[in-house]
Amino acid sequence: MNNLAERLRGAARWETGLALVVIAVLIAGSSASPHFLTGGNLFNVGLSNGEIAIMTLPLTLIVISGEIDLSVASILGMASALLGVLWKDGWPMPAVFITVAIVGLAAGAVNGLLVTRLGLPSLAVTIGTLALYRGIATILLGPNTVASFPTAYTNLGVNGVPGTGGDVTYSTLIFVVLAVIFGVVLHATTAGRSIYAMGASAEAAQFAGIRVKRIKTVLYMVSGLVCSLAGVLYTFRLNTAVQNNGLGLELDVVAIVLLAGVSIFGGKGTVIGVVLAVLAFAGIQNALFLTNFNQEASGIVTGALLLASVFVPNAARWLRYLPQKIRPRKISPQEIGPQET
């Protein structure tokens, strides 16, 4: 019980820290640029980070379960390429959506089956499928660009959600809805508890009767599906399907998840943390953009935050243990032994 309370305190502290970072970013951003806290800017932030934010959610569950998925951005690219090719071939849009969703699920299933049924390390497998799925996108589209999507769909990337004054993008709305769903599943269902359990110890979870392999496979399939959705959003936002859509985004997605306090070794992390980390990441990128910082170099800040995410908890632990090390040990009378008289 005591242990549980201790752990809850530790988790709360990390999320509190992140919330403070978000507040600091808001203050710094709004003092640096008068445009920072405007509705139009909110729209831009949502637009440029929507797909990344959406992809962090399934990855969070995968990392908590003790695995990793580096193929997320390649699934996004593959979905985008497929969308372009099928649309160019004259398929009706609903049929295109269903096909893209099925391919996303299949891509996730391949990851999941390789990891769970063949027992291969997920880091290596998903580096492989990172290349494979990007390769399929490249084969599908080659050097071509598809940019003739109907305006009814590309408007998704231009207009806000009605009733919000046009300041909230559809991708933001989808992220919020998904965050609620993932949050409920992770924190309030048996399946969610099972994910933590297998992340803490896959073997113990297995012996406790949790279907570790099945749940992990399902997580990868969900990731595939969500990433293909992100691919569709990405394509419509830019009104372009090219083979390198979303190239390299996996690093941003992983960085956000780790920044959120999700342990790379599994078993630890919250959806609230991920939402806060998304806000911090998006806020910093945007503040740097508005202050004319070299946009390409904004990775420095992402990297520094990532380092902070692993060093701050460690430093806190050192500080807690330090007094014990420094304080001189009391010597008990028994150790000195019976005194000669």
Chain contacts with another protein (rule: CB under 8 A): 114, 118-121, 123-125, 127-136, 138-139, 142-143, 243, 248, 251, 254-255, 258, 264-265, 294, 296-304, 306-307, 309-311, 314
CB of 142 to another protein, least distance (A): 5
Nearest to another protein of 155, 295 (CB atom):
295
Instruction: Please report, for residues 2, 73, 107, 230, the alpha-carbon distance to residue 244 in angstroms, rounded to integers and kept in the order given.
Output: 51, 10, 18, 14
- Kindly state the smallest distance separating residue 38's Cβ from another protein, in Å: 27
- Measured from the CB of residue 154, what is the shortest distance to another protein in angstroms? 26
Beta carbon nearer to another protein, 218 or 310? 310
For another protein, give the closer residue by CB, 51 or 252: 252
Smallest gap from Cβ 287 to another protein, in A, equals: 16
Overall size of the chain counted in residues: 341
Is the CB of 32 or the CB of 132 nearer to another protein? 132
Q: How far is the CB of 80 from another protein (least distance, A)?
A: 15
Nearer to another protein, 86 or 140 (CB): 140
